[in-house]
Every structure is written in structure tokens, then in C-alpha cells.
Structure 1
């Protein structure tokens, strides 16, 4: 949420109205526009309950109104005790300010109002009030992913909700409350993968050596009549160098780039006919020094001509369905010349060791010129980068008029292919 709104207009005294709300205390403090701003205490009144101990209804907006014709509102800032700002709009003539983001329940607010009279003399008033905390409402809890750590520039940020949110207006409230910030700053957007999961990515990959932080401003915010935001643990990750492994299945060659500079070319083999490797951009999901790969985990019957049961080393996983980049000493004769695998990208053991030690979770493997289909967007790993940016924005509840829902993400399967 944002929030200091500054403008100039007309009005003389102030009426601060928390519609259905009341203030429990007030005072004054300095204003950088003048050394001695006047205190407008006798010019301010509040609508709503006046009795001591009464609290404001968090579901009603906050409003500040100037009375008369000899003064104007120049600035209003509303903030809760945790530092969350309440966004708002100030009329061009300075006659009225009203909140445009919801108030939180069970929360203490401080509202600072700056004014100016017809002679240009500034006034200031600080108001404080508490909001009520409705009983019997459920909480929407959010879990950010991945775990804290350092990742490649292709790692999306995920938000898992513990309850489904289907209504677009409710999704907009949730999305506005989930903040992702990066240094250096880049444009990004959430995409509703399902009713319970969102992914966040920039238009391009994250910058190299960046800091990315995600947090929720939803706690105690009304989402529906029976649902309010719950607490959420913030997330902080960093990115490393920009590592992209471009795999050309037709040329049987992988070219690895670091920060757009070519650092190695590796002869490879990819999926043979009937098992062709998926085209598209894939995000590294995990690395395992040793994996025992069995054809039965990918639906190939034991004893058939395509069955296998092999110890595999230096295995870098790029899909949940079992696609890896790994050492394949049994196919060295075909590497650089033919595609003979069951869908994985195979290379010599020394090259696989180098790749394994160079690549990290969140780095990118892009396959081109394969006879296979396209990488799935959400249900087989992170295919997020294969969606054009304008289409990605359509999956946001606030970035376009139409929200988008994709397939449920990341089934935790464990088959492997070689």
C-alpha cells in the first residue's frame, strides 16, 4: 500500500470522518513547511461513535473533509502501528481526502493531517484511533516460496494460500497485499496459477546479483465477509550470476552462458523419437549427485525394449516428471551426433560434473529445435518464462480486466527418465 497524498485547494476548517469510526486521542506535532504550524484542534470533529472505549469499524473508509472557504488540506498520511500505510486520494481543491485501501481490524492508526489557511499559514493535526476486531472470521494464511537462499535469475516467487480465493474482487485485495520488491528494481506481476497459488516474475529474468523480498500486508485486512488476512512470514532471496544453458537438440550441442558470455560448449544427446525432449525454458528445480533411474517410474514396462534401470550421477532436475541433465557415459559415442535418450539431456561424466558444479537451483535450461512438445507452464516445474509478458499480465487480478487461472502447480512426483 502507498501513501502520502499531497495537493492544494480550498477549505477553512477540517472535519475528519472515519465513517462509522471514532478517534480516541489527538495532538499536534511539527510540519516541515513551517516552524510553528497552528493547531486546528477546535476546527476538527469526527463522525461516528464519540464515547470513550468505542472503536472504529474497519470496514468503513476513512475520510478527511475541510469546511469553510478559507483553507485547504495539503497532505494526509495514515499509518498503522506496524508501518503499513493507507492509500488515499485528495481532491484537487483540497476539500476532501478519503482512503482507497481497506483498514485492518484490531489495529491502531495514526493520521497526520496538514492544512493551509488563505494566508498560506500551515496547520497540523495528529489523530489516533483503534479499529474493532470482528469475531468468528477465518484467516487466509500465505506461505511464500522458495526457501530463503541464493538462486538463479529464473526463480519465480510463489505464494501458497491455505484457502481458495475465486472472486476477482477478493483476488484483487489479496494481490494488492502481497508485495515483492527487488534491488535493483524491476517491473513484475503476480499470476493466479490456481485458486490457491500465485507466481510472481518480472517481464525478463531477475537481475544478476539482486536481492528479492516478498511480504504480506494482508494481516487483519477484510477479504470477504467471513475471511480476513492472516500473518505471513516474509521471504528474502538473492540471485547469483545469470546462467543460461541453451540446448540445441538438432545440433546436439549445449552452450552455457554466464552473464551473456559464452563459457562452454558441450556435446550432448537428447530424447530420441517417441521420447523427444520438451522445447522451451525450464528452471532448475534440484541437483542430486546420484539418482537411480528406472523406466517403470515413467510408464515404461519392465522387460520391454525401452526399459532401463541405471545408476545416474551429476543429475540436475528440470521437470517434476523426470527430465534431467546428467552424466550418460553409455551414450558418449552418440553425444554431439544423435539423439538416443528417453528425454533427458545426456553428456560425458566430466562435462556433467562441470555442469553440475556450475549450475544452481533457479538457473535456466532452454531447449530449442527438439521434435518434442513444449514445456508445460505450471504443472511440471516452472515453465513460467514460456508465457509472453502481456499474457502473463492477464493472469493478474489488478494488472488487467481479465484474471487468469492455470493448472495446479508442481505435483510432487518422483519419476525419472534417461
Structure 2
């Protein structure tokens, strides 16, 4: 027979945990013909770098199996964890040593089957199990938003419990974060910073889409002494396609549902010096009542621009305080002029209708304003203002992993009228 041992390299995953147990088989036949004999117990023919009884293996160390002496050789090794993932490894040409090449999973349990043959060609076998120690540092992922029904513009967020900086480590994390939808869509993760990712499709989510988000990082080696932890899955449903376009030039807002115009509302937007941000925003939430004070946005009390007003039917589109809301004090300017401090104002009746019509994840777009473009990250969801090509560049798997970082000084809950 061929004296060259078979080299087996199996797809790697994550593994961890070492606890030894042994399984044996019957002795070989005495006729010297291995094909007609039952495999013998190879326990005395091989050694395994397992920890002492009752201890668990260090997942950062490779698994090694060695043939003892010159009386036989290893012909094959298969190592599988409790989830069915195979540990990649390599057998030397002389069959004397097998060493894992893939990373072990932390807190895992492996079953290892070793095949051997003796000098006469008789087959031997031995089965071990071992466990790996749990990770000292676990990277936990929290998905957002909360389970429920959202508009077609809702991004999926993944908040990491620890920073991940290197491209290789980011690729491990990103590969483990799965977004499955019905119908299926083309989409990608984008690294906002070292501790946050956003996922969005190339185009808005189709109406009625069912989404499931899972993190398969448990036990997976991410970086030096860093392994993934358990993540709670997320289920979302996408509702009707509701889009509101506020035209600062015409002073009107057009609202569409599934492509059909359902309302046109006279509005006022930000006046010079306080121009409403241009671009696509996503509804973040709704507040029936908000007390809006100019001091929260840096306008000194007592100045000609100061205000302190009770505001009703407030639909939030930025964390810094931009809303669509009732503005009865500027009724004479609705549909005529821009007089607000950055929000989109309208009559109380129209604001109540808008408040009841939209949900988080719906689109609110401002056009023809003198304001800057909505930030991509850090002040709400400006994700859709980034082209698809640039969005993909923020993926560790699809692009160069470079992306804008979220501004650190954005103040949350700052209402402006």
C-alpha cells in the first residue's frame, strides 16, 4: 500500500474546552491482513497534549497529537466541536504528528477521532473528548432596534461590548453577524466606529419584509485573548413605505405611502442661520409633548432668538433636537416662509395627523434648504445619505473598513423649534 499518509485539512470554525475521555475499539486480527481485521485500540500508540484530569485546555494553544516511537503512524484526525464545526489541522508527511491550524473555540467541547496503522499495516483507532476553558474576555453584541415593526429606512445596529480595531478581527465579527430577510435583499454592514456597526440594504427595505438578525460569535476567537459571547437574536417586520419630503423652497411637505401621495402639508422650516438639515433622515421616535428651550441649543435666555415653548405631536428625526411638530405660533408662515430654528413646523391638526401616520424607521427628507447635509452617523440615522459604493467601503469584508466616525460631542435630547 502507499506509504504516504493522507493529509486532512478541515474547514475551521471556533473551538474551545479540553476534557479528556477515551473510547476504545477491538484488537486487530492475527492474520496480518488489516483489511480483514477490526481496528485495534491505538491508545498506547499516540499521545495528546491534553491538560491534566479535571482541567480544561487553553483555547489559545494548538491541539497536537503525536505518534509514539517508530512502530506506527497517524493516518487521519477529525476534531469536531459540539455544534458540528470541524477544527482545521495538518498531518506531517511521515504521519508522526497532527497539529490544529484553526482556532479553538473558547468554552467548547471537542470530539477527536484518530486513525492509525502499525508497522504491519493494521488499522488502529482512538477517540478522545476534551473541553476548552471559557474566555477571559467575551465580546457581546447587542442588536437594535427593539423587536417590532418599522419603516423601510430602519437600519439594523450592532453595539459591541468591547472595541474591535484590526481589519482581520473586524472581519471575524462581521462574518458572524447574519441578517436574513424574506424577501432577500442585497445589504452590508458598515463600521461606524470600533464598537458599533450599522446594516442597511442597497435600497430601502421592501414593504412586508421579515428580518432575522443573529450573532454566531459564541466561543469564536476574535483577537488576542478575545472571544465572542452569546448574542440575543432580533426579529423585525417592515411596514408600509412611508416617505415625507419637506421642500424648504416651496414650504410644503409631501407625504407618500407606497408611492401614492396621501397628503400635502403647508410647513415652515429653518430660517437663515438655523436652516434645516438637507438629506434623508429616519424617524427615531414620537413624543406627544416636548418642552423646547433655546438654551439647550446654545441660544442664551433673553436674546432675540430665545424661546421656551410647549410643543405637541413631536416626531423626532435627529438626536440633537430636530423634529416635525405642531407650531401654531407661526401659523401665518406655514406654506409661505421659513421661520423656525431648524424644525419642520405645521398646524396642530396636520402635526397630529403626521404623528399618527408615521412610525420609527419611516423616511423624512428635506430638500432645497440652505442647511448642511444630515450627518451619516452620530445624530440619528443618516445612513441613506451615503452612496452604496461608499457604504460598502465601511465593511471589513467588502471594502477597506474605513468609515466616518460618530461625533463624540453630539448632545442628545436637544429640542429646537
How far apart are 1:17 and its partner, in Å?
6.6
Q: How far did 1:240 drift?
A: 1.0
**How far off its partner does 1:132 sit?**
2.0
Where do residues 138-287 of structure 1 align in structure 2 (5 Å cutoff)? 138-287=137-286
**TM-score normalized with structure 1 length:** 0.76
Cα offset for 1:363? 0.8
* Distance verdict in 2 for CA 1:184–1:47, change over 3 Å: farther
The answer as to whether partners of 1:275 and 1:372 remain within 8 angstroms in 2 is yes
CA distance in 2, matches of 1:408, 1:375: 13
Write the mapping of 1:319-398 to structure 2, written as runs, cut at 5 A: 319-398=318-397
The Cα RMSD (Å) is: 4.1
Q: Which residue of 2 aligns with 1:314?
A: 313
Where does structure 2 lack aligned partners over 5 or more consecutive residues? 25-37, 65-75, 90-98, 114-124
Give me the whole-angstrom Cα distance separating, in 2, the residues matched to 1:410 and 1:358.
Answer: 32
Q: Would the aligned equivalents of 1:289 and 1:314 in 2 still touch at CA under 8 Å?
A: yes
Report the CA distance between 1:109 and its aligned residue: 4.8
Residues 48/344 of structure 1: CA separation in 2 closer, same or farther (3 Å cut): same
CA 1:316/1:49 → structure 2, altered by over 3 Å: closer, same or farther? same
- Closer, same or farther: CA 307–59 of 1 in aligned 2, 3 Å: same
Offset of 1:263 from its aligned partner?
A: 1.4
Q: Deviations over 1:81-108 (max 9, x none)?
A: 3x4756989xxxxxxxx99974422323
Task: Give distance in 1, aligned partners of 2:339 and 2:242.
Answer: 26
Q: 1 CA distance for matches of 2:246 and 2:141?
A: 36
- Residue 105 of structure 1 pairs with residue 122 of structure 2: no
Instruction: Please tell me whether the aligned partners of residues 106 and 130 of structure 1 are also in contact (alpha carbons under 8 angstroms).
Output: no
Q: How many angstroms apart in 1 are the aligned matches of 2:284 and 2:295? A: 22
**100 and 400 in structure 1: CA distance in 2 versus 1, 3 angstrom threshold:** farther
Q: For residues 51-106 of structure 1, what are the alpha-carbon distances to aligned partners after superposition, in whole Å with 9 as ceiling and x for unaligned?
A: 9979777557899xxxxxxxxx9xxx99743x4756989xxxxxxxx999744223
The alpha-carbon deviation at position 325 of structure 1 amounts to 0.2
Could you tell me whether the CA contact under 8 Å between 2:157 and 2:199 is conserved in 1? yes
- Separation (CA, whole Å) in 2 of partners of 1:387 and 1:361: 20
Structure number with larger C-alpha Rg:
2
Contact preservation (8 Å) 1:378, 1:409: no
Q: Distance in 1 between matches of 2:184 and 2:22?
A: 39
What is the rounded CA distance, in whole Å, between the counterparts of 1:60 and 1:87 in structure 2?
13
Q: Deviations over 1:179-210 (max 9, x none)?
A: 22222111211111111111111111222122
Task: Provide TM-score, normalisation by structure 2.
Answer: 0.76
Which position in structure 2 is the counterpart of 1:132? 132
> For 1:332, what is the secondary structure of its paired residue?
helix
Q: Distance in 1 between matches of 2:293 and 2:397?
A: 45
CA contact (8 A) 2:19 2:132 kept: no
The CA distance in 1 between the partners of 2:204 and 2:111, in whole Å, is: 39
The 1-side partners of 2:237 and 2:402 are apart by 29
Gapped runs of 5+ residues in structure 1?
A: 1-10, 28-39, 64-72, 90-97, 113-124
